[in-house]
Amino acid sequence: MIVAPHRHRPGHEHADLTDFLALCRAEALRRGRPVLASVSLPVRHIDPLAVLLRMRRADEPWFFRECPARDTALAALDAAAVATFRGEDRFKRAGAWVEALFADAVAAGEPARAFGGPHAFVAAAFADAAPLTVFVPRRMVARRAGEHTATANALVTGETDPAAEAARILGAHARFAAFDYGATHDAGCPEAGEPPLATDALSCGEPAYAALVASLLERIAAGEFLKIVPARAATLRRAAPFDTAEALERLRERNPGSHTFSFGLGDGAEWLGATPETLLRVSGGTLHADSLAGTAPRARHAADDARLEAGLLADEKVLREQRAVTEALAQSLRELGLTPEYPESPRILRLEHARHLLTPVRAALPPELGALRVAGALHPTPAVAGSPRAAALAALASTEGFDREHYAGCSGWVDARGDALLMVNLRCAKVCGDQATLYAGAGVVAGSSPEAEAAETTLKMRTAAEALA
């Protein structure tokens, strides 16, 4: 990425930006291919979720992510460039596409700001044969630790009109700089007098799921695999379209330690949720990954919470599952030539509805490897598929009876500096108008209880269901 000098002269912004885009057009003509132009500027306090709800379009891709506990949030809208990949090497090819785009990018303004410079957003469905979509947004707003940044991106060719493109970018920045928080509620709302959503319907699928777990335990005993993570889906309907704006506001308020997320890919569907699990995070050349396994419900009183946490840490079945996930993750990193480091024992991850065992894993990441190539090696982890991976995936394909689509896939972003955040799409729902499909799974190992695993899936579905209620 080239960082170009960009003047800030009050009253001359259009002329300065036109000059910058003319430089980008000259670079595109010289190279014989389009050049990504990216302009990042500071803005006053702005709420990325409010921007998303006001400005997103159903026929264009968008992405939103917020973690209130870390004071980070961003929203990306529309596509300056977009590509879709399928197959076993889809992450590798997506990474090459992003790297080529960023290598030709020219950045101006203040790209060194938090979330400054060009970003590419990724939404990968669970299965390799399903799509991985990656896009660079036309518009992005972000917040980190009280610093607010707006970025505009454009794919500049030899035919681009610099003055017209400058006017578009400045118009977008002006809307961000003086954002009107009125009328941001864009989704359909339940009709007056409509009864609350019956979330107790989530438990209806427990008997069939428990039977599936019992059959998979027989296959574990026969040595077919060590662990498997079957999932189930539950569909909820109401008379009016689901209010996804309200759902996202509830998710970020009720799950401050999780990643509240929403994305759409231009097909009219919205995926939303609050996931506790990070597939990977890259910051300053260091890779961080989460090994997550085991679930215990939250209690109403501190003493009961402590008892449940102590039980989780002493449960040999859960500890065995956690060790398998951690070692599989570490081995995937070793096969890439990395040297993973992690503590011997897991710790408790405390969330709003549940407790989990967490082992943080870290490794130095050389720049030539890239976050998306690592993601391709890690996905799907034993936490969402099983171990050994191939045997578990084959069994899931023949027994689950539904398409996971983006459930247990991953979504997030990579930037031109090599930093990245990719989340595992858990505690989530796919919303299409008046229909919402919720998903959850549970890790099954020798000693698992079919009834307990079935109840765990209902507990996990509550995150999205209660937000949509």
Catalytic residue positions?
227, 277
Q: How far apart are CA 1 and CA 417, in angstroms?
A: 9
206's torsion region: left (phi>0), alpha (psi -120 to 50) or beta?
Answer: alpha
Q: How far apart are CA 128 and CA 455, in angstroms?
A: 29
Q: How far apart are CA 153 and CA 173, in angstroms?
A: 11
What is the CB-side half-sphere exposure of residue 31 using CA atoms within 13 A?
18
- What are the φ and ψ backbone dihedral angles of 355, each rounded to 5 degrees? -120, 145
Both tokens assigned to 300: 């109403």
End-to-end CA distance of the chain: 45
- What are the φ and ψ backbone dihedral angles of 466, each rounded to 5 degrees? -70, -30
Both tokens assigned to 406: 């983006």
Of 298, 286, 319, the residue nearest 421 (C-alpha): 286
DSSP state of 190: P
Number of Cβ within 10 Å of residue 453's Cβ equals: 24
Burial of 8 per CB tally in 10 Å (0-12, 13-18, 19+): exposed
Which position has the token pair 């034993």? 382
Q: What share of the chain is helix, strand, coil (3-state, %, to 5)?
A: 35, 30, 35
Of 108, 88, 85, the residue nearest 97 (C-alpha): 85
Find out whether 170 and 13 touch, Cβ atoms under 8 Å.
yes
Of 111, 155, 113, the residue nearest 2 (C-alpha): 111
Both tokens assigned to 380: 């799907």
